[in-house]
Structure 1
Amino acid sequence: MAAGQLCRLLRGSTTHWFTPGRALEEDLPVADRERDVATTAVARHEDVRTAARQSWRCSRELVVEAAARWSTEYSVGLHDEIGAAPAGRWPGRPTLPVAAIWQ
Protein backbone atom coordinates (compact mmCIF):
# COMPACT_ATOMS: atom_id res chain seq x y z
CA MET A 1 0.00 0.00 0.00
CA ALA A 2 1.35 3.42 -0.92
CA ALA A 3 1.74 6.09 1.74
CA GLY A 4 -0.90 8.23 0.02
CA GLN A 5 -3.42 5.41 0.21
CA LEU A 6 -2.58 4.63 3.83
CA CYS A 7 -2.99 8.30 4.71
CA ARG A 8 -6.39 8.39 3.00
CA LEU A 9 -7.46 5.22 4.81
CA LEU A 10 -6.41 6.68 8.17
CA ARG A 11 -8.32 9.90 7.45
CA GLY A 12 -11.45 8.13 6.19
CA SER A 13 -11.08 9.65 2.74
CA THR A 14 -11.00 6.76 0.27
CA THR A 15 -12.99 8.30 -2.58
CA HIS A 16 -9.82 8.78 -4.64
CA TRP A 17 -8.20 5.49 -3.61
CA PHE A 18 -6.60 4.66 -6.97
CA THR A 19 -5.39 8.23 -7.49
CA PRO A 20 -4.43 9.35 -3.98
CA GLY A 21 -3.10 12.70 -5.20
CA ARG A 22 -6.44 13.71 -6.73
CA ALA A 23 -8.44 16.31 -4.76
CA LEU A 24 -5.81 16.23 -2.02
CA GLU A 25 -6.55 19.85 -1.11
CA GLU A 26 -10.23 19.13 -0.48
CA ASP A 27 -9.89 15.68 1.07
CA LEU A 28 -7.03 15.86 3.58
CA PRO A 29 -5.96 18.11 6.47
CA VAL A 30 -3.26 20.75 5.92
CA ALA A 31 -0.61 18.79 7.87
CA ASP A 32 -1.08 15.75 5.63
CA ARG A 33 -0.94 17.88 2.48
CA GLU A 34 2.27 19.56 3.64
CA ARG A 35 3.81 16.19 4.45
CA ASP A 36 2.85 14.94 0.98
CA VAL A 37 4.45 17.96 -0.71
CA ALA A 38 7.68 17.33 1.22
CA THR A 39 7.89 13.84 -0.33
CA THR A 40 7.98 15.09 -3.92
CA ALA A 41 10.73 16.76 -5.93
CA VAL A 42 11.93 17.81 -9.33
CA ALA A 43 14.61 15.60 -10.87
CA ARG A 44 17.61 17.23 -9.20
CA HIS A 45 19.87 14.98 -7.17
CA GLU A 46 19.69 16.84 -3.86
CA ASP A 47 15.95 17.47 -4.17
CA VAL A 48 15.30 13.78 -4.89
CA ARG A 49 17.42 12.73 -1.89
CA THR A 50 15.54 15.14 0.37
CA ALA A 51 12.16 13.98 -0.93
CA ALA A 52 13.13 10.32 -0.49
CA ARG A 53 14.16 10.91 3.13
CA GLN A 54 10.89 12.76 3.78
CA SER A 55 8.95 9.95 2.12
CA TRP A 56 10.61 7.41 4.41
CA ARG A 57 9.73 9.49 7.48
CA CYS A 58 6.16 9.99 6.27
CA SER A 59 5.70 6.27 5.62
CA ARG A 60 7.04 5.38 9.05
CA GLU A 61 4.71 7.86 10.75
CA LEU A 62 1.70 6.50 8.88
CA VAL A 63 2.61 2.86 9.63
CA VAL A 64 2.95 3.66 13.35
CA GLU A 65 -0.42 5.46 13.31
CA ALA A 66 -2.11 2.60 11.45
CA ALA A 67 -0.64 -0.02 13.79
CA ALA A 68 -1.90 1.87 16.82
CA ARG A 69 -5.37 2.41 15.36
CA TRP A 70 -5.98 -1.12 14.14
CA SER A 71 -3.85 -3.05 16.66
CA THR A 72 -1.63 -4.50 13.96
CA GLU A 73 2.07 -5.24 14.09
CA TYR A 74 4.99 -4.20 11.94
CA SER A 75 8.70 -4.85 12.16
CA VAL A 76 10.09 -1.97 14.22
CA GLY A 77 13.54 -3.55 14.02
CA LEU A 78 13.48 -3.72 10.24
CA HIS A 79 12.30 -0.12 9.98
CA ASP A 80 15.10 0.97 12.32
CA GLU A 81 17.65 -1.14 10.45
CA ILE A 82 16.74 0.32 7.07
CA GLY A 83 16.57 3.88 8.40
CA ALA A 84 19.98 3.60 10.04
CA ALA A 85 21.72 1.91 7.13
CA PRO A 86 24.59 4.06 5.84
CA ALA A 87 24.12 4.56 2.10
CA GLY A 88 21.44 1.87 2.12
CA ARG A 89 23.88 -0.96 2.94
CA TRP A 90 24.15 -3.21 5.94
CA PRO A 91 25.82 -6.58 6.60
CA GLY A 92 24.02 -9.65 5.35
CA ARG A 93 21.58 -7.70 3.17
CA PRO A 94 21.71 -6.80 -0.51
CA THR A 95 22.54 -3.27 -1.57
CA LEU A 96 19.44 -1.20 -2.12
CA PRO A 97 19.17 0.24 -5.64
CA VAL A 98 18.44 3.69 -4.21
CA ALA A 99 21.39 3.62 -1.83
CA ALA A 100 22.73 7.04 -2.85
CA ILE A 101 19.70 8.88 -1.48
CA TRP A 102 20.47 7.97 2.12
CA GLN A 103 23.93 9.56 2.11
Structure 2
Amino acid sequence: YKPDKKTLVDLGLILEEDKLPKLYKPKGCKKCANTGYKGRLGLYEIMLMSEEIEKLTIERATADEIKAVALSEGMSTLKQDGFKKVLLGMTSIEEVLRVCA
Protein backbone atom coordinates (compact mmCIF):
# COMPACT_ATOMS: atom_id res chain seq x y z
CA TYR A 1 0.00 0.00 0.00
CA LYS A 2 1.03 3.65 -0.31
CA PRO A 3 1.33 5.47 3.04
CA ASP A 4 -0.55 8.73 3.57
CA LYS A 5 1.31 12.00 4.04
CA LYS A 6 0.41 12.32 7.74
CA THR A 7 1.99 8.96 8.51
CA LEU A 8 5.16 9.93 6.67
CA VAL A 9 5.30 13.27 8.49
CA ASP A 10 4.89 11.40 11.80
CA LEU A 11 8.01 9.43 10.86
CA GLY A 12 9.83 12.64 9.99
CA LEU A 13 9.84 11.90 6.27
CA ILE A 14 8.93 14.20 3.43
CA LEU A 15 8.81 12.41 0.11
CA GLU A 16 7.52 13.38 -3.29
CA GLU A 17 4.18 11.78 -4.18
CA ASP A 18 5.67 9.74 -7.04
CA LYS A 19 8.51 8.44 -4.83
CA LEU A 20 6.42 6.87 -2.07
CA PRO A 21 7.73 3.41 -1.20
CA LYS A 22 5.57 0.29 -1.42
CA LEU A 23 4.77 -0.82 2.11
CA TYR A 24 3.08 -3.80 3.70
CA LYS A 25 0.42 -4.22 6.37
CA PRO A 26 0.35 -7.18 8.74
CA LYS A 27 -2.09 -9.95 7.85
CA GLY A 28 -3.22 -12.12 10.73
CA CYS A 29 -3.65 -15.87 11.00
CA LYS A 30 -4.25 -18.49 13.71
CA LYS A 31 -0.51 -18.94 14.33
CA CYS A 32 -0.02 -15.26 15.22
CA ALA A 33 -3.36 -14.79 17.03
CA ASN A 34 -4.41 -12.47 14.17
CA THR A 35 -1.74 -9.88 14.97
CA GLY A 36 0.20 -10.28 11.74
CA TYR A 37 3.47 -10.50 13.65
CA LYS A 38 5.70 -13.44 14.53
CA GLY A 39 8.13 -13.15 17.42
CA ARG A 40 9.88 -9.95 18.33
CA LEU A 41 11.95 -7.50 16.35
CA GLY A 42 14.36 -5.06 17.94
CA LEU A 43 14.61 -1.40 17.05
CA TYR A 44 17.96 0.07 17.97
CA GLU A 45 19.23 3.58 18.59
CA ILE A 46 22.96 3.67 17.98
CA MET A 47 25.21 6.53 19.05
CA LEU A 48 28.96 6.27 18.76
CA MET A 49 30.95 8.06 21.46
CA SER A 50 32.99 10.68 19.63
CA GLU A 51 35.45 13.11 21.18
CA GLU A 52 32.87 15.89 20.82
CA ILE A 53 30.14 13.89 22.57
CA GLU A 54 32.60 12.88 25.30
CA LYS A 55 33.49 16.55 25.80
CA LEU A 56 29.82 17.54 26.00
CA THR A 57 29.17 14.75 28.51
CA ILE A 58 32.05 15.86 30.74
CA GLU A 59 30.78 19.46 30.52
CA ARG A 60 27.32 18.21 31.61
CA ALA A 61 25.62 19.41 28.44
CA THR A 62 21.88 18.89 28.11
CA ALA A 63 20.50 15.77 26.45
CA ASP A 64 19.21 17.93 23.59
CA GLU A 65 22.69 19.37 22.97
CA ILE A 66 24.26 15.92 22.96
CA LYS A 67 21.52 14.54 20.70
CA ALA A 68 21.97 17.38 18.21
CA VAL A 69 25.69 16.63 17.89
CA ALA A 70 25.08 12.87 17.75
CA LEU A 71 22.54 13.30 14.94
CA SER A 72 24.93 15.54 13.01
CA GLU A 73 27.56 12.79 13.37
CA GLY A 74 25.23 10.13 11.96
CA MET A 75 23.44 8.70 14.99
CA SER A 76 20.63 6.30 14.06
CA THR A 77 17.38 6.89 15.96
CA LEU A 78 14.72 4.32 16.88
CA LYS A 79 12.38 5.75 14.24
CA GLN A 80 15.08 5.64 11.57
CA ASP A 81 15.90 2.02 12.38
CA GLY A 82 12.19 1.23 12.43
CA PHE A 83 11.62 2.82 9.04
CA LYS A 84 14.50 0.81 7.54
CA LYS A 85 12.74 -2.32 8.79
CA VAL A 86 9.42 -1.07 7.37
CA LEU A 87 11.06 -0.73 3.94
CA LEU A 88 12.38 -4.29 4.27
CA GLY A 89 8.84 -5.54 5.02
CA MET A 90 9.80 -6.67 8.53
CA THR A 91 7.21 -4.51 10.33
CA SER A 92 4.60 -1.82 9.67
CA ILE A 93 4.69 1.95 9.97
CA GLU A 94 1.87 1.78 12.49
CA GLU A 95 3.88 -0.55 14.72
CA VAL A 96 6.98 1.66 14.54
CA LEU A 97 4.92 4.74 15.43
CA ARG A 98 3.26 2.86 18.30
CA VAL A 99 6.56 1.69 19.75
CA CYS A 100 8.35 5.02 19.26
CA ALA A 101 5.51 7.22 20.56
TM-score when normalising by structure 1: 0.28
TM-score by length of 2: 0.29
More helix by share: 1
Greater relative CO, 1 or 2 (CA 8 Å, sep 6+):
2
Select the structure of larger CA radius of gyration. Answer: 2
